[in-house]
Amino acid sequence: MKGFVLVDKPSGWTSHDVVAKTRGILRERKVGHAGTLDPMATGLLVLAVGRVTRLLRFLQDLPKVYEGTMMLGVATDTLDADGAVLSREEMPVSQAEVEAAMKRFVGDIHQVPPMVSALKIDGRRLHELAREGKEVERAPRPVTIHDLEMTDFSPSNYPEVGFRVTCSKGTYVRTLADDIGRSLGGHAHLTELRRTNNGSLSVSEAVSIEQLQAHADAGTMAEVLLTPASALRDVVGYEVDEPLVGAVRNGVAIAANPTDVSEGSFVRVMHDGELLAMYRSNGSGLVAEVVLS
- Residue 38 known to be catalytic: yes
Contact indicator for 228, 292 with CB cutoff of 8 Å: yes
Residue of 8, 38, 178, 179 marked catalytic: 38
Contact indicator for 291, 271 with CB cutoff of 8 Å: no
148 CB neighbour count, 10 Å cutoff = 19
Tell me the three-class secondary structure of the chain, residue by residue: CCEEEEEEECCCCCHHHHHHHHHHHHCCCCEEECCCCCCCCEEEEEEEEHHHHHHCHHHHCCCEEEEEEEEECEEECCCECCCCEEEECCCCCCHHHHHHHHHCCCEEEEECCCCCCCCEECCEEHHHHHHCCCCCCCCCEEEEEEEEEEEEEECCCCCEEEEEEEECCCCCHHHHHHHHHHHCCCCEEEEEEEEEEECCEEHHHCECHHHHHHHHHHCCHHHCCECHHHHCCCCCEEECCHHHHHHHHCCCCECCCCCCCCCCCEEEEEECCEEEEEEEECCCCEEEEEECC
Contact indicator for 193, 68 with CB cutoff of 8 Å: yes
Task: Show which residues are catalytic.
Answer: 38
